[in-house]
Structure 1
Amino acid sequence: MFIEKADLGSVLYEYQIDQITDGNDGLVMQACSAAIEEAKSYLTPNPDNKQWLDGRLLYDVETIFSKTGNDRHSLIVQHCCTMAKWYVAELCNADFIYEKAKERYDRAVDWFTKVAKGTINVSSLPQLVRDETTAGDKQPFEFGSRAKFNHDY
């Protein structure tokens, strides 16, 4: 998996994770999986939306999230950990500052949204090549004229 319980040490202390989840590693893995899926959803282009054909970078999401260890993109790992922290925080009544977790989660989501919209470009991420398989037969602009109107019945 792209992030593991050990990676959450950058956003939560281990005693906090254990206290919140009652030592249930399944809950931690569920939070990590949810964070990864959410992050992927921001970076995956919608092939049916012509807006994605406006020239913005298309990232190779499967390659990005298939990396392990030190090959992973450190900023994406950090933002995924922040998102996983938020999912763990939903269970929380421990020594934890809710507002700070919410603020950091919102910042991570905002960052992914900006990357997806093309406001921010991350040059170190693998990108998809624009061709028939990624762009399909849709064009970003359509032009032409309407069919001629005819009163004949």
Structure 2
Amino acid sequence: MFIEKADLGSVIYDYQLDQITEGDDDKVAQACNAAIEEAKSYLTPNIDNKKWLDGRLLYDVEAIFSKVGDDRHSLIVQHCCTLAKWYVAELCNADFIYEKAKERYDRAVSWFTKVATGVINVSTLPQLVRDETTAGDKQPFEFGSRAKFNHEY
């Protein structure tokens, strides 16, 4: 898995994680899986939508999230941990600062959104090559004129 319980130590203390999840590693795994899926959803291009053909970088999401250990992109791991912390925080009544978790979650989502829309480009992430499979037969712009207007009913 791209992130695991041990990785969450950078965003939440172990005692807090254990207290919130009541020591249930399945809840932690569910939060990690949800965070990974959310991150993937931001970075995966919608090739059926013409706006993705505007020249922005298309990231190879499967290559990014298939890495393990030190081969993983550290910023992606950190933001995924922040997202996972948010999913754990939804269970919480422990000594946990909700507003800080919410603020960090919002920042992580904002960062992923900026990367997905091309505002931020991460040069160290694997990218897809634009070809028939990624662009299809759609073009980013359409040319032509409108049909002649006729007043007849």
In structure 2, the partner of 1:100 is 100
In structure 2, the partner of 1:118 is 118
TM-aligned CA deviation for residue 78 of structure 1? 0.1
Cα distance in structure 1, aligned partners of 2:147 and 2:119: 38
In structure 1, the partner of 2:31 is 31
In structure 2, the partner of 1:135 is 135
In structure 1, the partner of 2:9 is 9
Identity %: 87
Cα distance in structure 1, aligned partners of 2:132 and 2:97: 48
Structure 2 counterpart of 1:101, one-letter code:
A
With normalisation by structure 1, the TM-score equals: 0.95
TM-aligned CA deviation for residue 47 of structure 1? 1.1
TM-aligned CA deviation for residue 18 of structure 1? 0.5
TM-aligned CA deviation for residue 95 of structure 1? 1.3
Structure 2 counterpart of 1:86, one-letter code:
W
Partner of 1:23, secondary structure, is coil
Give the gaps of 5 or more residues in structure 1: none
In structure 1, the partner of 2:42 is 42
Cα distance in structure 2, aligned partners of 1:42 and 1:21: 27
Give the gaps of 5 or more residues in structure 2: none
2:85 paired with 1:85 = yes
Cα RMSD between the aligned structures? 1.4
Cα distance in structure 2, aligned partners of 1:146 and 1:103: 48
